Amino acid sequence: MKIRIEVDESLGDEIVIRCSKMDERILRMQEAVVEKEERGFHMMLRKGETEYFLPVEDILFFETEGKVIYAHTREHMLATEYKLYELEEILPGSFLRISKSAIVNLDQVYSITRSLTSSSLIEFQHSHKRAYVSRIYYKLLMERLAVKRKQM
């Protein structure tokens, strides 16, 4: 069996299985891909001595505090062992770097209060949590949110 991955940024994600005949092995592969996609990506996070396995879509944003990277959910702040640059590589496309010290989940953004002289304030629906987008990343954030609105 050959496995080939072709990257074309102009296309949406698509998985094609080419086979000489449909058999049980091919059906299991298809089911595994569909199941993985439906379950989504989970991440192990810590709070004290307890480890939590949360779907990444529940995370509002990641933020550096000292030498620790925290994932913020609506109610909790949990530590991750990843660095921000590692998170940028593994997180789905709904996450975007918004400052040197933060990555936000675009699907969770409720409002942005723009500030011309400093960082703009991002708020999240049903949460008191806030994140700040630096002026350098503001334009990219607005572009990505505009693309997401068009896709809806």
Over residues 6-29, mean pLDDT:
81
pLDDT for residue 152: 63
Q: Which domains does the chain have, with CATH numbers?
A: 42-151 (2.40.50.1020)
The answer to whether residue 38 scores a pLDDT higher than 60 is no
Chain centre distance of CA 16: 24
Highest mean pLDDT among 26-30, 116-120, 132-136: 132-136
Whether the per-residue pLDDT at 43 is higher than 80: the answer is yes
**pLDDT for position 33:** 74
> Collapsing DSSP states into helix, strand and coil, what is residue 84?
helix
Model pTM score: 0.74
Give φ, ψ of 108 to 5 degrees.
-105, -5
Rounded to an integer, what distance in angstroms lies between the CA atom of residue 52 and that of residue 147? 32
pLDDT tens digits for range 49-86: 999 999 999 999 999 999 999 999 999 999 999 999 99
Statement: residue 114 has pLDDT above 80: yes
Q: And the tokens for 108?
A: 């969770």
pLDDT of residue 108 exceeding 70 = yes
Give the per-residue pLDDT at 37: 64
**Number of other CB atoms surrounding residue 49 within 10 Å:** 5
- Residues listed for the chain: 152
The confidence score (pLDDT) of residue 148 equals 79
